[in-house]
Chains A and B, each alone.
Chain A
Amino acid sequence: MHELGLTQNLIEIAEVHARREGAAAIKSLTLKIGSLSGVFPDAIEFAFEVCSKGTLAQGATLEILCIPAIGRCQQCSAETSMESLADSCPECGSFALDILQGQEMAFTEMEID
């Protein structure tokens, strides 16, 4: 459940930006979560409901964009979509894949009022 701590970070960052902008409320927050980030989006949503109470983000909608993972083979440089960290290169069979995308846990934008 490290999603709880990540969600607290999210709300902290959101409130800093909202106050700087003079916002009265946060309407929505958008996150990018990679499929191999180790973060479970449902757990973020659950934690957000709890953690946002009494903050500027209370009642805001949370939009989570899931980013599919893409790897590049260290041996043959082929690029491949990845379902798990145990995937191998479909071209040469090597397990040495660099992850190009899919590890994101980024807070990208929010709507304020």
Chain B
Amino acid sequence: MCTDCGCAAPAPGHDHGHEPHPRTIRIEEDLLAKNQSLATANRIRFAAHQLFVLNLVSSPGSGKTSILERTLRDLAGQMTFAVLEGDQQTSNDAERIAATGVPVKQINTGTGCHLDAHMVSHGAEAFDLNSTDILMIENVGNLVCPASFDLGEDHKVAVLSVTEGEDKPLKYPHMFRVADLVLINKIDLLPYLRFDLEKCKTFARRINPQIEIIELSCHSGVGMSAWYDWLIREGNRKRDVNHT
């Protein structure tokens, strides 16, 4: 046996019949290519079901689940939802969503800091997509890593609450760059805080000049109708694009 490479040819001085080594080979692959192809497959599958899909991202505690709970209750009867809940541990959020009567599936990422397209692909198997208008994916609370992972959604929606700093868009620019909409939550607390709302909006537009911004409080209900209008408008736009 050849002691150079372990091939079956007799040693020494034989012709290996294959490339010399060591040698350099070109790869040219994106490290996210696998996730991207799965996300594209999700997107095609969701479009086939006329499904409008949102990926909700934020830091922990900004109110993603509370916004969802109120949205699902307020829009019950107008449109049908399904919810994928991403958290490292526990099914607490899924239990809160289940109490609204909407189908929900909890995805626990364990040590993982984000949802990926593969998890969403299997998570969505829990739902009857034909009878669902909107799939809400609540990502793991983390303003960093979920920015890099396409799940096959139509839009990333970033939630930022006024109990956080107004400079969050500058500190976590990747997320605000890839989001199409920011929901600024808990604005009923503004009188008690030193949060500069206008500065926050300026910072978000500095990172992403096209970003839409809606100020609301899922606790008091102020601003929620603007969010519902956005949901209906963008959902209809997607269905119209599908039809043409």
Contact = CB atoms under 8 A, between A and B. Distances in A.
B116 interface: yes
Contact of A110 (B27, B114, B116, B206): B27
Contacts, number: 94
Interface stretch (B40-48, B142-150, B224-232): B142-150
Given A5-B112, A85-B173, A17 B27 contact: yes
Interface residues of B, number: 38
A6 interface: yes
* Interface-central residue, B22, B114, B177, by most chain A CB under 10 Å: B22
A95 interface: yes
B148 A106 contact: no
A107 B30 CA distance: 6
A78 to B, nearest CB: 16
A85 B22 contact: no
B173 A84 contact: yes
A85 B174 contact: yes
Contact of B29 (A13, A39, A85, A95): A13
Contact of A111 (B22, B114, B170, B203): B22
A36 B112 CA distance: 22
Contacts of A53: none
A70 interface: no
Determine chain B's interface SS by DSSP, over half rule.
mixed
Contacts of B210: 96
Interface string A45-59: 000000000000000
A32 to B, nearest CB: 10
A70 B207 CA distance: 15
A57 B147 CA distance: 28
Contact of A109 (B24, B35, B113, B174): B24
B32 interface: yes
Interface string B169-183: 010011001000000
19 contacts: A1-B113, A5-B116, A12-B34, A14-B27, A21-B19, A22-B5, A23-B21, A38-B144, A94-B209, A96-B209, A105-B31, A106-B28, A106-B31, A107-B27, A107-B31, A109-B25, A109-B26, A111-B22, A111-B24
The 5 closest A-B pairs by CB, nearest first: A85-B173, A2-B145, A113-B22, A96-B209, A38-B174
